[in-house]
Every structure is written in C-alpha cells, then in structure tokens.
Structure 1
Amino acid sequence: MFKVPVHQVAGHQAIGGKLGPLVDDDGRFYKPLQSGERGSTEKAFYTSFSSNTSIPEDIRRFFPVFHGTQVLEASDGSGPCPHLVLQDIVSGHLSPSIMDIKMGANTWPPQSPEDYITRCLEKDRETTSINLGFRIEGFHIYRSEESDLWKPEKQFIKSFSAQDVRLVLKKFVSSNASPDLDLNPDCAFASIVYGGSTGILAQLRELKAWFEVQTIYRFYSCSVLMMHGKGGSGAAVKLVDFAHVVDGEGVIDHNFLGGLCSLIEFISKATQDEYPNKTCLKDSENNRSSSDNCTCE
C-alpha cells in the first residue's frame, strides 16, 4: 500500500492533489520521474552510480539504494507515471529529526537556459547559498514528546541569515527547539548527533575526503540530508536529489566541496563536544566573521 511520506521536509509533496513521492511499508521510496532532461539525468545518475565499481563501498552508504523504476498511479490523479524506486532512508527511524541542506554556492549546472540561471541566481542571492556555500531547504525537529514537532514554513527558512543558520544547527540537536529565536537551545544531543566517531561530523568529513579526490560527477543542486532519531540516536547523513548531476570530466567538484567544507565548519563551531549536555558555543565575534569565509580545515 502506497502512502504520502510523513517525514518529507522539502521538495514536491504529494498533498493537495499535487504530484509527489510515495512510500510503502517495505522501506521503499517512489519518486516521480521528472519530465524532460531532469528526469533522464537523475535516472542516468542512479544507473551509473549503482553500477560504477570505482565507487568505494563506504561512500555508497551515503546514497539511497536504487531499485530501478516502476510505473505507478501518480499521486495527483493524472494516471500512470514512471517512478524511481529508491531506499526510504528514514524508514525505521523513530520520530526522526531531519534537515535538508542544498549544497553549493552555484545551484545550476553548466549549459542551463538563461531564464533558469536567472531564477537560480535570484534564489541563491536571497538565501545563504552564495555567502555560505549552502542553504537550509527545510527541516523538522521532534522535541521531548513524539507529537511535539517543530516544522517551520518555507518562507521563514528562506529568510535565514548566517547567524540564523548557526542557531538552527544548535536547535537541531536540542530538546527545547522552538520557533522562538530568543530561546537559547540546550544542545542536549550535540555530542551524540554531531560528535564521536560515528556522528554527523565524522560522516561529513568522510564524504569530504571522497569529494577531495572524486572527479566522476559534479553535483549541482544536490542536498545533504541530516537526521537523527529520538534522543539523538541513529545520526545519519545521506545525499539526495540528483536531477542536475553532470559528468565530472576529470575535475574536482569545488562547488559542492566548498559548501561541504563550510557546513562542516559551521557545525563544528555551533556546538562543543566538551560540554555536550550543558552549553553551545558562545556567539563570539570570531564565529560571526567565519560565516563569510568558510574554508576546509
């Protein structure tokens, strides 16, 4: 039985008679194949990536498993529609807090139409993409109770400054996360979610090491999905959305890598492992200035 994903935080959603992805009870995610070049590009990427023996196994775990394509009734009632069949990456997580982060200061691929570049550039300038090399696309955070969920509107997120991004990265690992930007987050789960050998920072650094050498693909407008379960358990990083991936042509993907370095630095400076249950980093002048010139460590 197919149903609407309840933990989707960004992108097209299958609600209100709109076309969007579906999930089943077997841990699979059905993403409508976009028409035109975007759909063919994403399908080609998954086909290439899944069969490419040069991709290290420890890197494959950051990407949804590809199970081919399947024709389903579209969620908008328009009839049969081809879908990508992917791993449902949030399946099995209890009350997962999720954040979708679009990577890169430049979110359009080469040879894009002029009008598309204009739209992307406008959005990149309105958000933190150009300044930080990434922007938050959407998130929801479960607080102390399973039913206590904070999921802000898209327009609220779109207006984030660099300082807001730093604050929300703290709230993402806090038990008292709320829309009140004046309420100090407790960072109760910071050491569990961000820290340690299996935390989000370690996973992002593992990805960074691969992006420092891989020249197979360039990932435009791709997202890093960060998630953790109740009490900060099961911290995980996944890459999603590959409709604008192009051939790497033997060149390092500096656009994605720069955003990844910036994200790592922001998370590193947002919280302190030394005081996991008591405090977050103080917002010093150094922290504020670092948002303009993020570099890899």
Structure 2
Amino acid sequence: MSKKPFDPSTLQAFGNAAAGHDGVLSDLSGAVVVKPCTAAEIAFYESISASHPDLAPHLPTFMGQLSLSSDQSGSAPVAIEESGTIVTADGVVERLHGKKLDTELHIVLENITHGFTKPNVLDLKLGAQLWDEGAKPEKRARLDKVSAETTSGSLGFRIAGMRVYKGEPVPGTPEGLKEFVEADYEKGYWVYNKMYGRKFAAEDINEGFENYIHGQGKQGKELERAREVLAYFLGEAKDIIRAFEKKESRMYSASILLVYEGDVDAYARAKERLRSAPAGEEGDEEDDLPQLAAVKMIDFAHATWAPGQGPDENALRGMRSTTSILKDLLDSVEKELDAAEAA
C-alpha cells in the first residue's frame, strides 16, 4: 500500500469492524484505519519490519503511529512521515458514540476491508489463554471463565464478531437471533455481536461459519463463490500457520480476520476486472483494484517475542482448528456443487 497524505481532521468512525473496541477511525478514502493501541502493539509491528519481514504479508501494512500536537495550528493535510508519525492539529478526535478519546497512542494501519464493495468480515479471537503475564488476577479469572464457557477453551478460538451482507432489502432478524444480531438496514448487513460466538460449543461451531460464508444464500453462483473463497481462506490460513510455527512469540487475544466480497454480483465484477488488469500494476492503480478475499492476523496489544520458549501453541491451536473447519465447509460446498451438476 502506498503512503498518501490525508487530513486527520476528516477522520471518522470506522464502520466495517466486526469486533473490537470503540474509537476505531478511518480516513475519507477508507484506505487507512486508526485505532487506539498499546506501546506493545506498536513495538510488535516495528519488530516485524526490522526482524521478521517474512510475517509482514500476513499482517495489515503498518503505517506508523498517530502522534498529537496541541500547539499546532491549522488543519492542512499532512503525510505519514518517514518516522511513521502523523501529527494532528487539535489533540482529539471523535470517538464512536460522540465521546472524546485521548489519541496520544494510536496505530495507523492498512484497512483490510478497503477495495471491497460489501465486505463480509469474520473476527476469530485466538487462544485458550486470553491474558498475558501482566494481567491482574481478577482479569485472569474473568477471561479464564470466558474461555472455559466458549470454544476458546475447546477449540483454541471463538467467533468474536461478524458482519454479513444480506442484500437489500435486509431480512428481519429471526426470533432466535434477536439478542445476537442487529440489522443494519442502511448498509444491508446483519451485524453479529460478541455474544453470538460465545453461544457455540465445539459441536455446533460450524453453524457460525456457515452463516458467514452463505450470507446471500446457497444458489449456484453463491456456492461457486463459497468454494473459491473457502479454498483461498484455507490456503492463507495454512500459510499463516507455517509462518508462525517458525517463530517464538506469544500473542494473547490476537485474531485472524477473514474478509470476502459479500455482494455476489460485485464479486463477479471484481473477478472480471482482476482478470483484465495488466500484470504488475503498481502505485495508485494497484490501490484502486477491487478485492475478492483477504486473511490477516490482527490485534497485537498483548504480543511479544519469546526467545527460547518455542512457537505460540496457544494461538496455533486456534489457527489449526480454523483450518479444519474451513476444510469441512469446503468439502461440503464441493459436494453440493457436484450434486447440482449431476442433477
């Protein structure tokens, strides 16, 4: 992703997040996400560039941190400097729900959902142990309870949130999902909250993935898209596993983010445009190309390197469970397509 100037005074609430904290922002172009972070998260991203460049393709592009300067005047557009710093003029930005948030420590990242018309987003929180060594006893107890009562404990991950495009008009939320799903009628989505993922056990977790991958139904072109997207997800997830199996890290409460084009017609148009795009497009033209699917690791607020301690099996277990479920779903979709062809 190229570095472009943008006007920090135009930052607005980010609308495509499937999970996470309030205060996530985006610029008007939608290419950049600005979110509150810890010093550990910035250090982790910086260490990727410095010492682990092989992991960079599996993370959002790191573009620096947001540094505030209350003594600056004016609000002219500024660029991300070589030091990785963006300077704003007013010292504060609008938080979700209209509250002010001290933005002294914000990280600036590539927006993974940029380039999609209707991004379907699935956030999978990794790990059975969700706390790092610095957590207080009460926090450990609370997170251990969450883990024990959800698929975090049984599978090493849980669904933290989903946004699924349902088309327009948006169907009303079914009675059994009203406490878990809110219909976004303006944008055409069902938005699944964090409690949705907590209701599943290992035996029925596939239901959550099916609701994600079959957002617009299971007709011919939807099934074809599901097969392509699931095959891509599976390949990317396996690549991430292989990359992190070689690393000695600890990434408590990190996530895998899965994204695909939720509008099946936009998906078809994007495929056609990508087929016709000249090979090796670079710069602004590459930034404007549509996207079909993406898989990235995100959320490194509690991530560190652990030399001598081996790979992060806590997170890797969740990644492996994810690949197993993706493979099951892919097999199921292929059987449905084979049956349709034989009919």
Residues 1:154 and 1:111: Cα distance change in structure 2 (over 3 Å): closer
Distance 1:137 1:239 in 2: 14
8 Å Cα contact 1:190/1:277 also seen in 2 = no
> Unaligned 5+ residue runs, structure 2?
1-9, 69-90, 170-186, 268-290
Tell me what 1:44 maps to: 43
* Cα deviation 1:197-254 (Å, max 9, x = unaligned): xx00000011111122222x22111000001013256111011110111222231111
Match of 1:61 among 57, 63, 67: 57
SS of the aligned residue for 2:256 comes to strand
More displaced, 201-210 or 106-115? 106-115
Aligned mates of 1:125, 1:165 — CA distance in 2: 15
| Contact 2:230–2:329, Cα closer than 8 Å, also in 1 | no
d(CA) in 2 for partners of 1:145 and 1:188? 21
> Equivalent residues in 2 for 1:83-102 (5 A)?
83-102=106-125
Are 1:123 and 2:146 matched, yes or no?
Answer: yes
Cα distance, 1:80–1:267 mapped onto 2, change above 3 Å: closer
Q: What secondary structure sits across from 1:268 in the alignment? A: helix
Residue 156 (structure 1) aligned to one of 193, 196, 220: 196
- Hey, what's the Cα distance between the residues in 1 that align with 2:110 and 2:119? 16
- Report the equivalent of 2:14: 5
Q: What CA distance in whole angstroms lies between the structure 1 residues aligned with 2:120 and 2:192?
A: 13
Q: Is the 8 A contact 2:162 2:193 kept in 1?
A: no
TM-score with structure 2 setting the length: 0.68
Q: Is 1:112 the equivalent of 2:145?
A: no
Considering fraction of residues, name the structure with more helix. 2
Distance 1:201 1:78 in 2: 38
Conservation of the 8 A alpha-carbon contact between 1:187 and 1:278: no
* Residues 200 and 226 in structure 1, CA contact (< 8 A), matched pair in contact too: yes
Q: Which residue of 2 aligns with 1:205?
A: 238
SS at match of 1:214: coil
- For residues 177 and 11 of structure 1, do their structure 2 counterparts lie closer, same or farther at Cα, with a shift above 3 Å needed? farther
Cα offset for 1:278? 7.1
The reply on whether 1:228 has 2:260 as its aligned counterpart is yes
Match of 2:210 among 165, 170, 180: 170
Q: CA deviation at 1:190?
A: 2.1
Amino acid at match of 2:230: Y
Describe the shift of the 1:247–1:95 C-alpha distance in structure 2 as closer, same or farther (beyond 3 A). Answer: same
Structure-1 residue corresponding to 2:300: 242
Describe the shift of the 1:40–1:192 C-alpha distance in structure 2 as closer, same or farther (beyond 3 A): same
Q: Secondary structure at the match of 1:210?
A: helix
Of 187, 191, 197 in structure 1, the residue corresponding to residue 227 of structure 2 is 191
Q: Which amino acid is 1:43 matched to?
A: I
Q: Is the Cα contact below 8 Å between 1:31 and 1:84 reproduced in 2? A: yes
Q: Which residue of 2 aligns with 1:274?
A: 334
Return the alpha-carbon distance in structure 2 between the equivalents of residues 31 and 105 of structure 1. 25
Secondary structure of the equivalent of 1:25? coil
Sequence identity, in percent? 28
How many angstroms apart in 1 are the aligned matches of 2:217 and 2:245? 34
Residue 127 of structure 2 contacts residue 315 of structure 2 at CA under 8 Å; is this kept in 1? yes
2:173 equivalent in structure 1: none
Deviates more, 1:59-68 or 1:168-177: 168-177
Match of 2:281 in 1: none
Aligned pair partner of 1:263 in 302, 316, 322? 322
Q: CA offset at residue 51 of structure 1?
A: 2.0
Give 4+ residue runs of structure 1 displaced > 6 Å after superposition.
none
Question: 2: distance between equivalents of 1:111 and 1:171?
Answer: 36
Q: Deviation string for 1:65-89 (max 9, x for gaps)?
A: 1111123514222555332111111
Matches within 5 A, 1:142-153: 142-145=165-168, 147-153=187-193
Question: Is the partner of 2:311 in helix, strand or coil?
Answer: coil
For the 8 Å contact 1:65–1:86, the answer to whether it is kept is yes
Any gaps of 5 or more consecutive residues in structure 1? Answer: 14-19, 34-38, 179-185, 280-297
Residue 177 of structure 1 and its aligned partner are, at CA, apart by: 5.6
For 2:226, the aligned partner's letter is: A
TM-score relative to the length of structure 1: 0.78
- C-alpha contact (below 8 Å) 1:222/1:241 kept by paired residues: yes
